[in-house]
Structure 1
Amino acid sequence: MTTPPAHIEIDGVPAAEPGLLATLMSGYGHFTAMQVRDGRVKGLGLHLERLDRSTRELFGRGLDGDRVRALAVGALEKAGRRDASLRVYAYPDVRVAVTVAEPAPDGPGAPQRLTTAEYWRPAPHIKHLGGFGQNYHREAAARAGFDEALLTSPYGEIAEGAITNIAFWDGTSVVWPSAPCLEGITMALLEPRLGSVRRPVTLADLPGFRAAFVTNSRTIAPVTAIDETAFAVDEDLMERVYAAYASVEGEALRPGA
Protein backbone atom coordinates (compact mmCIF):
# COMPACT_ATOMS: atom_id res chain seq x y z
CA MET A 1 0.00 0.00 0.00
CA THR A 2 1.25 3.52 -0.79
CA THR A 3 2.79 5.34 2.19
CA PRO A 4 0.30 8.00 3.35
CA PRO A 5 1.31 11.66 3.24
CA ALA A 6 2.62 13.10 6.48
CA HIS A 7 0.10 15.91 6.62
CA ILE A 8 -3.52 16.24 5.43
CA GLU A 9 -5.89 19.12 6.03
CA ILE A 10 -9.66 19.36 5.59
CA ASP A 11 -11.00 22.88 5.16
CA GLY A 12 -7.74 24.18 6.57
CA VAL A 13 -7.87 21.94 9.66
CA PRO A 14 -5.21 19.23 10.08
CA ALA A 15 -6.73 15.75 10.00
CA ALA A 16 -6.28 13.72 13.16
CA GLU A 17 -5.48 10.44 11.34
CA PRO A 18 -3.68 11.16 8.04
CA GLY A 19 -3.21 7.46 7.29
CA LEU A 20 -6.92 6.75 7.57
CA LEU A 21 -7.88 9.79 5.54
CA ALA A 22 -5.39 8.87 2.83
CA THR A 23 -7.09 5.49 2.61
CA LEU A 24 -10.53 7.07 2.37
CA MET A 25 -9.31 9.45 -0.34
CA SER A 26 -7.81 6.66 -2.45
CA GLY A 27 -11.09 6.10 -4.31
CA TYR A 28 -10.49 2.33 -4.24
CA GLY A 29 -13.10 0.41 -2.33
CA HIS A 30 -16.75 -0.53 -2.24
CA PHE A 31 -19.83 -0.02 -0.12
CA THR A 32 -23.41 -0.95 0.54
CA ALA A 33 -26.31 1.36 1.36
CA MET A 34 -29.30 0.39 3.49
CA GLN A 35 -32.33 1.79 5.18
CA VAL A 36 -32.60 1.07 8.90
CA ARG A 37 -36.00 1.07 10.60
CA ASP A 38 -36.19 0.43 14.35
CA GLY A 39 -32.75 -1.16 14.20
CA ARG A 40 -33.74 -3.57 11.42
CA VAL A 41 -32.79 -3.82 7.73
CA LYS A 42 -34.57 -5.55 4.87
CA GLY A 43 -32.15 -7.93 3.17
CA LEU A 44 -29.44 -7.50 5.80
CA GLY A 45 -28.00 -10.91 4.98
CA LEU A 46 -27.67 -9.88 1.33
CA HIS A 47 -25.88 -6.67 2.35
CA LEU A 48 -23.41 -8.61 4.48
CA GLU A 49 -22.86 -11.16 1.72
CA ARG A 50 -22.23 -8.35 -0.79
CA LEU A 51 -19.67 -6.71 1.51
CA ASP A 52 -17.83 -9.97 2.14
CA ARG A 53 -17.83 -11.05 -1.52
CA SER A 54 -16.58 -7.70 -2.84
CA THR A 55 -13.96 -7.41 -0.10
CA ARG A 56 -12.59 -10.82 -1.06
CA GLU A 57 -12.46 -9.83 -4.72
CA LEU A 58 -10.84 -6.43 -4.15
CA PHE A 59 -8.60 -7.10 -1.16
CA GLY A 60 -8.09 -10.86 -1.03
CA ARG A 61 -9.72 -11.44 2.34
CA GLY A 62 -13.20 -11.45 3.76
CA LEU A 63 -15.19 -8.97 5.82
CA ASP A 64 -16.82 -10.60 8.83
CA GLY A 65 -20.54 -9.90 9.08
CA ASP A 66 -20.46 -9.69 12.87
CA ARG A 67 -17.83 -6.95 12.63
CA VAL A 68 -20.03 -5.01 10.22
CA ARG A 69 -23.07 -5.39 12.45
CA ALA A 70 -21.15 -4.24 15.53
CA LEU A 71 -19.81 -1.18 13.71
CA ALA A 72 -23.26 -0.34 12.34
CA VAL A 73 -24.93 -0.67 15.74
CA GLY A 74 -22.22 1.44 17.34
CA ALA A 75 -22.57 4.18 14.74
CA LEU A 76 -26.34 4.27 15.14
CA GLU A 77 -26.05 4.46 18.91
CA LYS A 78 -23.55 7.32 18.72
CA ALA A 79 -25.84 9.13 16.29
CA GLY A 80 -28.83 8.48 18.56
CA ARG A 81 -30.86 6.86 15.78
CA ARG A 82 -32.88 3.71 15.24
CA ASP A 83 -34.14 4.91 11.82
CA ALA A 84 -31.48 6.01 9.35
CA SER A 85 -29.87 5.84 5.94
CA LEU A 86 -26.73 3.85 6.69
CA ARG A 87 -23.73 3.13 4.50
CA VAL A 88 -20.86 0.74 5.14
CA TYR A 89 -17.64 1.33 3.18
CA ALA A 90 -14.71 -1.09 2.84
CA TYR A 91 -11.24 0.18 1.92
CA PRO A 92 -7.74 -1.28 1.48
CA ASP A 93 -6.45 -3.23 4.48
CA VAL A 94 -10.16 -3.90 5.10
CA ARG A 95 -10.70 -0.64 6.93
CA VAL A 96 -14.40 -0.04 7.41
CA ALA A 97 -16.25 3.26 7.58
CA VAL A 98 -19.92 3.68 8.51
CA THR A 99 -22.02 6.74 7.81
CA VAL A 100 -25.39 7.55 9.37
CA ALA A 101 -27.79 10.05 7.79
CA GLU A 102 -31.47 10.95 7.73
CA PRO A 103 -33.71 8.05 6.65
CA ALA A 104 -35.21 8.15 3.19
CA PRO A 105 -38.96 8.89 3.08
CA ASP A 106 -41.07 5.77 3.45
CA GLY A 107 -43.76 4.93 0.92
CA PRO A 108 -43.97 5.09 -2.89
CA GLY A 109 -41.40 7.18 -4.71
CA ALA A 110 -42.34 10.05 -7.01
CA PRO A 111 -42.65 9.19 -10.72
CA GLN A 112 -39.37 9.57 -12.60
CA ARG A 113 -38.36 10.70 -16.08
CA LEU A 114 -35.19 9.12 -17.46
CA THR A 115 -32.82 10.01 -20.25
CA THR A 116 -30.40 7.58 -21.86
CA ALA A 117 -26.60 7.72 -21.80
CA GLU A 118 -24.13 5.46 -23.60
CA TYR A 119 -22.15 4.16 -20.64
CA TRP A 120 -21.70 0.92 -18.75
CA ARG A 121 -19.96 0.93 -15.36
CA PRO A 122 -16.65 -0.96 -15.07
CA ALA A 123 -16.90 -4.07 -12.89
CA PRO A 124 -20.65 -3.45 -12.61
CA HIS A 125 -21.20 -6.36 -10.21
CA ILE A 126 -19.35 -4.40 -7.50
CA LYS A 127 -20.88 -1.38 -5.77
CA HIS A 128 -17.53 0.34 -6.04
CA LEU A 129 -16.25 3.81 -5.33
CA GLY A 130 -15.01 6.24 -7.94
CA GLY A 131 -18.19 6.26 -10.00
CA PHE A 132 -17.28 9.37 -12.00
CA GLY A 133 -18.90 8.12 -15.19
CA GLN A 134 -22.29 7.37 -13.72
CA ASN A 135 -22.24 10.58 -11.65
CA TYR A 136 -21.32 12.58 -14.72
CA HIS A 137 -24.28 11.22 -16.67
CA ARG A 138 -26.65 11.57 -13.72
CA GLU A 139 -25.71 15.22 -13.22
CA ALA A 140 -26.11 15.86 -16.95
CA ALA A 141 -29.56 14.24 -16.80
CA ALA A 142 -30.54 16.49 -13.89
CA ARG A 143 -29.39 19.61 -15.72
CA ALA A 144 -31.54 18.55 -18.67
CA GLY A 145 -34.60 18.25 -16.42
CA PHE A 146 -34.62 14.48 -15.90
CA ASP A 147 -34.60 12.49 -12.66
CA GLU A 148 -32.11 9.78 -13.59
CA ALA A 149 -29.78 8.59 -16.35
CA LEU A 150 -30.42 5.20 -17.97
CA LEU A 151 -27.15 3.52 -18.97
CA THR A 152 -26.99 1.75 -22.33
CA SER A 153 -24.44 0.19 -24.64
CA PRO A 154 -23.53 1.94 -27.93
CA TYR A 155 -25.95 -0.51 -29.55
CA GLY A 156 -28.87 0.49 -27.35
CA GLU A 157 -28.92 -2.40 -24.88
CA ILE A 158 -30.19 -1.22 -21.50
CA ALA A 159 -28.25 -2.15 -18.35
CA GLU A 160 -29.31 -0.04 -15.35
CA GLY A 161 -29.84 3.47 -14.09
CA ALA A 162 -26.94 5.54 -12.81
CA ILE A 163 -27.95 4.70 -9.22
CA THR A 164 -30.95 2.43 -9.81
CA ASN A 165 -32.06 -0.84 -11.29
CA ILE A 166 -34.87 -0.71 -13.82
CA ALA A 167 -37.65 -3.19 -14.56
CA PHE A 168 -40.29 -3.25 -17.28
CA TRP A 169 -43.83 -4.62 -17.44
CA ASP A 170 -44.99 -6.27 -20.65
CA GLY A 171 -48.48 -7.05 -19.40
CA THR A 172 -47.51 -10.56 -18.36
CA SER A 173 -44.10 -10.46 -16.68
CA VAL A 174 -41.81 -8.07 -14.85
CA VAL A 175 -38.66 -7.96 -17.00
CA TRP A 176 -35.22 -6.98 -15.68
CA PRO A 177 -32.54 -6.27 -18.31
CA SER A 178 -29.99 -9.07 -18.44
CA ALA A 179 -27.06 -6.82 -19.36
CA PRO A 180 -24.22 -6.60 -16.80
CA CYS A 181 -25.29 -4.38 -13.89
CA LEU A 182 -25.13 -4.00 -10.16
CA GLU A 183 -27.81 -6.29 -8.77
CA GLY A 184 -29.20 -4.02 -6.07
CA ILE A 185 -30.53 -5.44 -2.81
CA THR A 186 -34.04 -4.09 -3.48
CA MET A 187 -33.97 -5.74 -6.90
CA ALA A 188 -32.76 -9.00 -5.34
CA LEU A 189 -35.62 -8.94 -2.82
CA LEU A 190 -38.28 -8.14 -5.41
CA GLU A 191 -37.19 -10.41 -8.24
CA PRO A 192 -38.33 -13.75 -6.78
CA ARG A 193 -41.45 -12.23 -5.21
CA LEU A 194 -42.70 -10.83 -8.53
CA GLY A 195 -42.16 -13.90 -10.68
CA SER A 196 -39.72 -11.84 -12.72
CA VAL A 197 -37.68 -12.78 -15.77
CA ARG A 198 -34.39 -11.48 -17.13
CA ARG A 199 -33.75 -10.94 -20.80
CA PRO A 200 -32.00 -8.45 -23.08
CA VAL A 201 -33.87 -5.15 -23.36
CA THR A 202 -32.99 -2.54 -25.97
CA LEU A 203 -34.18 0.97 -26.65
CA ALA A 204 -36.04 -0.38 -29.67
CA ASP A 205 -38.06 -2.61 -27.30
CA LEU A 206 -39.39 0.27 -25.20
CA PRO A 207 -42.63 0.92 -27.12
CA GLY A 208 -43.62 -2.69 -26.50
CA PHE A 209 -43.68 -2.30 -22.71
CA ARG A 210 -46.72 -1.07 -20.80
CA ALA A 211 -44.90 0.30 -17.75
CA ALA A 212 -41.56 0.56 -16.00
CA PHE A 213 -40.19 1.26 -12.53
CA VAL A 214 -36.83 1.86 -10.83
CA THR A 215 -35.49 0.60 -7.52
CA ASN A 216 -32.63 1.32 -5.16
CA SER A 217 -32.01 1.43 -1.42
CA ARG A 218 -33.98 4.67 -1.07
CA THR A 219 -37.00 4.26 -3.33
CA ILE A 220 -39.22 2.24 -5.62
CA ALA A 221 -40.74 4.58 -8.19
CA PRO A 222 -42.68 4.34 -11.46
CA VAL A 223 -41.10 5.62 -14.65
CA THR A 224 -43.21 7.98 -16.77
CA ALA A 225 -40.77 8.55 -19.64
CA ILE A 226 -37.48 7.38 -21.13
CA ASP A 227 -36.38 10.11 -23.52
CA GLU A 228 -39.36 10.50 -25.89
CA THR A 229 -41.07 7.22 -24.93
CA ALA A 230 -43.88 7.81 -22.41
CA PHE A 231 -45.19 5.23 -19.95
CA ALA A 232 -48.43 5.25 -18.03
CA VAL A 233 -48.21 4.58 -14.30
CA ASP A 234 -49.76 1.14 -13.88
CA GLU A 235 -51.31 1.46 -10.43
CA ASP A 236 -52.07 -2.26 -10.14
CA LEU A 237 -48.48 -3.14 -10.97
CA MET A 238 -47.04 -0.62 -8.53
CA GLU A 239 -49.34 -1.77 -5.73
CA ARG A 240 -48.12 -5.31 -6.35
CA VAL A 241 -44.48 -4.16 -6.29
CA TYR A 242 -44.91 -2.13 -3.10
CA ALA A 243 -46.77 -5.00 -1.43
CA ALA A 244 -43.98 -7.43 -2.36
CA TYR A 245 -41.38 -5.17 -0.79
CA ALA A 246 -43.51 -4.54 2.28
CA SER A 247 -43.77 -8.29 2.82
CA VAL A 248 -40.01 -8.55 3.42
CA GLU A 249 -39.27 -8.74 7.15
CA GLY A 250 -36.42 -6.60 8.43
CA GLU A 251 -33.46 -8.35 10.05
CA ALA A 252 -32.04 -7.01 13.31
CA LEU A 253 -28.63 -5.40 13.09
CA ARG A 254 -28.00 -6.30 16.73
CA PRO A 255 -27.65 -10.09 17.00
CA GLY A 256 -30.40 -11.61 19.12
CA ALA A 257 -32.58 -8.50 18.99
Structure 2
Amino acid sequence: MTNRPDVHIEIDGRPATGLDPAVVPLLQGAYGHFTAMQVRDGRTRGLALHLERLDRATRELFGTGLDGDRVRTLVRHALDRGGRSDAGVRVYVYGAAAEGGAPTVVVTVREARTMPPRPRSMMPVPFLRPVPHVKHAGGVGQPYYGRAAALAGFDDALLTGPGGEIAEGHVANVALWNGTSLVWPEAPALRGVTMALLERLLPSVHREVLLADLGSYPAAVLMNSQGIAPVHRIGTTELAVDEELIRRLTEAYAAVPWDGI
Protein backbone atom coordinates (compact mmCIF):
# COMPACT_ATOMS: atom_id res chain seq x y z
CA MET A 1 0.00 0.00 0.00
CA THR A 2 1.49 3.35 -0.95
CA ASN A 3 0.49 5.72 1.79
CA ARG A 4 -2.16 8.16 0.69
CA PRO A 5 -1.24 11.85 1.06
CA ASP A 6 -3.59 12.18 4.04
CA VAL A 7 -2.48 9.10 5.99
CA HIS A 8 0.83 7.57 6.99
CA ILE A 9 0.71 3.89 7.98
CA GLU A 10 3.32 1.76 9.68
CA ILE A 11 3.24 -1.93 10.55
CA ASP A 12 5.48 -2.78 13.51
CA GLY A 13 7.46 0.38 12.78
CA ARG A 14 7.89 -0.24 9.06
CA PRO A 15 6.20 2.07 6.53
CA ALA A 16 3.42 0.22 4.72
CA THR A 17 4.70 0.89 1.21
CA GLY A 18 4.00 -0.97 -2.00
CA LEU A 19 0.36 -1.87 -1.24
CA ASP A 20 -2.83 -0.47 -2.70
CA PRO A 21 -4.73 2.08 -0.52
CA ALA A 22 -7.86 -0.07 -0.93
CA VAL A 23 -6.24 -2.52 1.50
CA VAL A 24 -6.61 -0.02 4.38
CA PRO A 25 -10.30 -0.65 5.17
CA LEU A 26 -9.73 -4.40 4.83
CA LEU A 27 -6.85 -4.26 7.29
CA GLN A 28 -8.89 -2.18 9.72
CA GLY A 29 -11.76 -4.67 9.55
CA ALA A 30 -9.73 -7.76 10.48
CA TYR A 31 -9.86 -9.57 13.84
CA GLY A 32 -8.28 -7.10 16.18
CA HIS A 33 -8.81 -4.01 18.26
CA PHE A 34 -7.64 -0.40 18.38
CA THR A 35 -7.58 2.91 20.18
CA ALA A 36 -7.96 6.37 18.66
CA MET A 37 -6.34 9.50 20.04
CA GLN A 38 -5.81 13.10 19.09
CA VAL A 39 -2.19 14.22 19.36
CA ARG A 40 -1.05 17.81 19.73
CA ASP A 41 2.64 18.68 19.82
CA GLY A 42 3.46 15.01 20.38
CA ARG A 43 1.11 14.72 23.35
CA THR A 44 -2.30 13.19 24.00
CA ARG A 45 -4.87 13.16 26.78
CA GLY A 46 -5.36 10.03 28.86
CA LEU A 47 -2.33 8.17 27.54
CA ALA A 48 -2.35 5.69 30.44
CA LEU A 49 -5.98 4.85 29.65
CA HIS A 50 -5.15 4.24 25.99
CA LEU A 51 -2.24 1.96 26.89
CA GLU A 52 -4.32 0.11 29.47
CA ARG A 53 -7.11 -0.40 26.91
CA LEU A 54 -4.65 -1.82 24.36
CA ASP A 55 -3.00 -4.16 26.83
CA ARG A 56 -6.30 -5.43 28.30
CA ALA A 57 -7.87 -6.10 24.91
CA THR A 58 -4.71 -7.77 23.58
CA ARG A 59 -4.75 -10.16 26.54
CA GLU A 60 -8.42 -10.94 25.95
CA LEU A 61 -8.20 -11.42 22.17
CA PHE A 62 -4.74 -12.93 21.84
CA GLY A 63 -3.75 -14.26 25.27
CA THR A 64 -0.70 -12.03 25.66
CA GLY A 65 0.02 -8.53 26.85
CA LEU A 66 1.11 -5.48 24.89
CA ASP A 67 3.98 -3.46 26.31
CA GLY A 68 3.11 0.23 26.64
CA ASP A 69 6.66 1.38 25.92
CA ARG A 70 6.56 -0.51 22.63
CA VAL A 71 3.33 1.25 21.69
CA ARG A 72 4.75 4.67 22.55
CA THR A 73 7.89 4.00 20.53
CA LEU A 74 5.87 2.92 17.51
CA VAL A 75 3.58 5.96 17.74
CA ARG A 76 6.50 8.38 18.07
CA HIS A 77 8.17 6.76 15.08
CA ALA A 78 5.04 7.01 12.94
CA LEU A 79 4.48 10.65 13.92
CA ASP A 80 8.07 11.48 13.02
CA ARG A 81 8.02 9.63 9.68
CA GLY A 82 4.56 10.97 8.92
CA GLY A 83 5.81 14.50 9.46
CA ARG A 84 3.14 15.46 12.00
CA SER A 85 3.31 16.57 15.62
CA ASP A 86 -0.43 17.35 15.54
CA ALA A 87 -2.39 14.35 14.27
CA GLY A 88 -5.22 11.91 14.59
CA VAL A 89 -3.56 8.62 15.56
CA ARG A 90 -4.97 5.12 15.65
CA VAL A 91 -3.18 2.10 17.04
CA TYR A 92 -4.51 -1.23 15.75
CA VAL A 93 -3.48 -4.58 17.22
CA TYR A 94 -3.69 -7.90 15.39
CA GLY A 95 -2.37 -11.40 15.96
CA ALA A 96 1.33 -12.19 15.67
CA ALA A 97 2.71 -12.51 12.14
CA ALA A 98 4.64 -15.65 13.17
CA GLU A 99 3.86 -18.41 15.65
CA GLY A 100 4.95 -17.36 19.12
CA GLY A 101 5.70 -13.80 18.06
CA ALA A 102 4.50 -10.51 19.47
CA PRO A 103 1.16 -9.05 18.35
CA THR A 104 1.26 -7.00 15.17
CA VAL A 105 0.82 -3.27 15.78
CA VAL A 106 -0.36 -0.95 13.04
CA VAL A 107 -0.18 2.82 13.57
CA THR A 108 -1.99 5.27 11.31
CA VAL A 109 -1.26 8.98 11.37
CA ARG A 110 -3.54 11.46 9.65
CA GLU A 111 -4.73 15.03 9.89
CA ALA A 112 -5.67 16.22 13.36
CA ARG A 113 -9.40 16.62 13.90
CA THR A 114 -11.65 18.40 16.39
CA MET A 115 -15.35 17.64 16.82
CA PRO A 116 -17.45 20.54 15.50
CA PRO A 117 -19.28 22.09 18.48
CA ARG A 118 -22.61 22.35 16.62
CA PRO A 119 -25.61 20.55 18.18
CA ARG A 120 -26.19 17.04 16.86
CA SER A 121 -29.23 14.98 16.04
CA MET A 122 -29.24 11.23 16.71
CA MET A 123 -31.36 8.47 15.20
CA PRO A 124 -32.13 5.57 17.57
CA VAL A 125 -31.30 2.23 15.94
CA PRO A 126 -31.91 -1.36 17.19
CA PHE A 127 -28.31 -2.47 17.55
CA LEU A 128 -25.78 -3.15 20.31
CA ARG A 129 -22.11 -3.75 19.58
CA PRO A 130 -20.95 -7.34 20.17
CA VAL A 131 -18.19 -7.61 22.79
CA PRO A 132 -18.91 -3.94 23.54
CA HIS A 133 -16.15 -3.44 26.14
CA VAL A 134 -13.54 -4.01 23.40
CA LYS A 135 -12.90 -1.30 20.82
CA HIS A 136 -12.73 -3.87 18.04
CA ALA A 137 -11.94 -3.22 14.43
CA GLY A 138 -14.46 -5.45 12.65
CA GLY A 139 -18.20 -5.50 12.20
CA VAL A 140 -20.72 -4.04 9.78
CA GLY A 141 -23.30 -2.84 12.33
CA GLN A 142 -21.77 0.48 13.32
CA PRO A 143 -20.99 1.76 9.81
CA TYR A 144 -24.29 0.39 8.52
CA TYR A 145 -26.37 2.26 11.07
CA GLY A 146 -24.16 5.33 10.90
CA ARG A 147 -24.83 5.52 7.17
CA ALA A 148 -28.54 4.84 7.70
CA ALA A 149 -28.73 7.75 10.14
CA ALA A 150 -26.98 10.06 7.69
CA LEU A 151 -29.31 9.05 4.86
CA ALA A 152 -32.28 9.79 7.14
CA GLY A 153 -30.96 13.29 7.81
CA PHE A 154 -29.42 12.70 11.26
CA ASP A 155 -25.87 13.45 12.35
CA ASP A 156 -25.29 10.23 14.29
CA ALA A 157 -26.83 6.88 15.16
CA LEU A 158 -27.79 6.07 18.75
CA LEU A 159 -27.37 2.37 19.56
CA THR A 160 -30.19 0.89 21.64
CA GLY A 161 -31.23 -2.45 23.11
CA PRO A 162 -34.42 -4.46 22.52
CA GLY A 163 -36.25 -2.66 25.35
CA GLY A 164 -35.24 0.79 24.19
CA GLU A 165 -32.17 0.92 26.46
CA ILE A 166 -29.77 3.62 25.33
CA ALA A 167 -26.17 2.43 25.02
CA GLU A 168 -23.88 4.71 22.99
CA GLY A 169 -23.47 6.54 19.74
CA HIS A 170 -22.14 4.60 16.79
CA VAL A 171 -18.71 6.27 17.23
CA ALA A 172 -19.08 8.15 20.52
CA ASN A 173 -20.25 7.89 24.10
CA VAL A 174 -23.48 9.59 25.10
CA ALA A 175 -24.38 11.12 28.46
CA LEU A 176 -27.65 12.61 29.64
CA TRP A 177 -27.83 15.56 32.03
CA ASN A 178 -30.36 15.49 34.87
CA GLY A 179 -29.66 19.01 36.10
CA THR A 180 -27.01 18.04 38.63
CA SER A 181 -25.11 15.05 37.23
CA LEU A 182 -24.06 13.38 34.02
CA VAL A 183 -26.04 10.16 33.62
CA TRP A 184 -24.11 7.46 31.78
CA PRO A 185 -26.33 4.72 30.28
CA GLU A 186 -25.75 1.30 31.81
CA ALA A 187 -26.52 -0.68 28.64
CA PRO A 188 -23.48 -2.56 27.24
CA ALA A 189 -21.14 -0.02 25.65
CA LEU A 190 -17.50 0.91 25.28
CA ARG A 191 -16.04 3.00 28.08
CA GLY A 192 -14.36 5.66 26.01
CA VAL A 193 -11.22 7.47 27.14
CA THR A 194 -12.88 10.90 26.97
CA MET A 195 -15.80 9.51 28.97
CA ALA A 196 -13.42 8.05 31.56
CA LEU A 197 -11.66 11.39 31.93
CA LEU A 198 -14.83 13.45 32.26
CA GLU A 199 -16.61 11.20 34.74
CA ARG A 200 -13.74 11.86 37.14
CA LEU A 201 -14.21 15.62 36.87
CA LEU A 202 -17.98 16.17 36.97
CA PRO A 203 -20.74 14.63 39.12
CA SER A 204 -21.63 11.33 37.42
CA VAL A 205 -24.01 8.43 37.91
CA HIS A 206 -24.55 5.22 35.95
CA ARG A 207 -28.09 3.96 35.45
CA GLU A 208 -30.43 2.51 32.88
CA VAL A 209 -31.71 5.12 30.44
CA LEU A 210 -34.64 4.30 28.16
CA LEU A 211 -35.74 6.09 25.02
CA ALA A 212 -39.14 6.47 26.71
CA ASP A 213 -37.48 8.45 29.53
CA LEU A 214 -35.76 11.04 27.35
CA GLY A 215 -38.36 13.69 28.15
CA SER A 216 -37.19 13.73 31.78
CA TYR A 217 -33.67 14.83 30.84
CA PRO A 218 -33.10 18.49 29.98
CA ALA A 219 -29.94 17.95 27.92
CA ALA A 220 -27.56 15.41 26.39
CA VAL A 221 -24.02 15.38 25.03
CA LEU A 222 -21.83 13.07 22.99
CA MET A 223 -18.06 12.75 23.10
CA ASN A 224 -15.07 10.91 21.71
CA SER A 225 -11.37 11.59 21.23
CA GLN A 226 -12.18 14.52 18.96
CA GLY A 227 -14.13 16.42 21.61
CA ILE A 228 -17.60 17.16 22.94
CA ALA A 229 -20.84 18.32 21.31
CA PRO A 230 -24.40 18.92 22.51
CA VAL A 231 -27.29 16.75 21.32
CA HIS A 232 -30.41 18.72 20.39
CA ARG A 233 -32.61 15.87 19.16
CA ILE A 234 -32.90 12.12 19.63
CA GLY A 235 -35.45 10.65 17.24
CA THR A 236 -38.47 12.94 17.65
CA THR A 237 -37.52 14.15 21.14
CA GLU A 238 -36.15 17.68 21.23
CA LEU A 239 -33.52 18.50 23.86
CA ALA A 240 -32.30 21.88 25.03
CA VAL A 241 -28.74 22.93 24.28
CA ASP A 242 -27.44 23.73 27.76
CA GLU A 243 -24.69 26.26 27.14
CA GLU A 244 -23.63 26.24 30.80
CA LEU A 245 -23.24 22.46 30.73
CA ILE A 246 -21.19 22.62 27.55
CA ARG A 247 -19.01 25.33 29.09
CA ARG A 248 -18.39 23.20 32.18
CA LEU A 249 -17.58 20.12 30.13
CA THR A 250 -15.32 22.03 27.76
CA GLU A 251 -13.42 23.70 30.59
CA ALA A 252 -13.05 20.42 32.48
CA TYR A 253 -11.77 18.64 29.38
CA ALA A 254 -9.40 21.49 28.55
CA ALA A 255 -7.89 21.17 32.04
CA VAL A 256 -6.96 17.51 31.48
CA PRO A 257 -3.15 17.37 31.13
CA TRP A 258 -1.56 16.32 27.87
CA ASP A 259 0.80 13.35 28.28
CA GLY A 260 3.99 13.10 26.29
CA ILE A 261 4.05 10.07 24.02
TM-score (norm 1): 0.88
Once residues 178 and 25 of structure 1 are traced to their aligned partners in structure 2, the CA distance between those partners, rounded to angstroms, is: 28
User: Shift of the alpha carbon at 1:27?
Assistant: 1.2
Q: Alpha-carbon deviations, 1:141-161, whole Å to 9, x = none?
A: 001110100011111001101
Structure 2 matches for 1:50-61, cutoff 5 A?
A: 50-61=53-64
Structure 2 counterpart of 1:74, from 50, 60, 77: 77
CA contact (8 A) 1:24 1:91 kept: no
SS of 1:28's partner is coil
Return closer, same or farther for 1:172/1:56 CA change in 2, 3 Å cut-off.
Answer: same
CA contact (8 A) 1:55 1:62 kept: yes
Structure 2 matches for 1:145-156, cutoff 5 A?
A: 145-156=153-164
Cross-structure match for 1:223: 231
Q: Alpha-carbon deviations, 1:211-235, whole Å to 9, x = none?
A: 0000011121000000100011101
Cross-structure match for 2:88: 85
Cross-structure match for 2:182: 174
Return closer, same or farther for 1:36/1:26 CA change in 2, 3 Å cut-off.
Answer: closer
Structure 2 matches for 1:1-257, cutoff 5 A?
A: 24=27, 27-93=30-96, 94-105=103-114, 109-253=117-261
User: Shift of the alpha carbon at 1:100?
Assistant: 0.4
Q: CA RMSD in A?
A: 2.2
Where does structure 1 lack aligned partners over 5 or more consecutive residues? 1-7, 9-14
Q: Which stretch shifts more, 97-106 or 47-56?
A: 97-106
Once residues 62 and 110 of structure 1 are traced to their aligned partners in structure 2, the CA distance between those partners, rounded to angstroms, is: 40
CA contact (8 A) 2:28 2:138 kept: no
Once residues 205 and 127 of structure 2 are traced to their aligned partners in structure 1, the CA distance between those partners, rounded to angstroms, is: 23
CA contact (8 A) 1:177 1:199 kept: yes
Once residues 121 and 29 of structure 2 are traced to their aligned partners in structure 1, the CA distance between those partners, rounded to angstroms, is: 34
User: Shift of the alpha carbon at 1:83?
Assistant: 0.4
SS of 1:46's partner is helix
User: Shift of the alpha carbon at 1:25?
Assistant: 6.8
SS of 1:192's partner is coil
TM-score (norm 2): 0.87
Which letter maps to 2:171?
Answer: I
Once residues 112 and 49 of structure 1 are traced to their aligned partners in structure 2, the CA distance between those partners, rounded to angstroms, is: 30
Once residues 117 and 37 of structure 2 are traced to their aligned partners in structure 1, the CA distance between those partners, rounded to angstroms, is: 16
User: Shift of the alpha carbon at 1:131?
Assistant: 2.7
CA contact (8 A) 1:119 1:152 kept: yes
Q: Alpha-carbon deviations, 1:56-106, whole Å to 9, x = none?
A: 000000110000000000000001111000000000111000000100137
User: Shift of the alpha carbon at 1:110?
Assistant: 1.8
CA contact (8 A) 1:174 1:195 kept: yes
Moved over 2 A (4+): 21-26
CA contact (8 A) 1:224 1:233 kept: yes
User: Shift of the alpha carbon at 1:136?
Assistant: 0.4
User: Shift of the alpha carbon at 1:172?
Assistant: 1.7
SS of 1:193's partner is coil
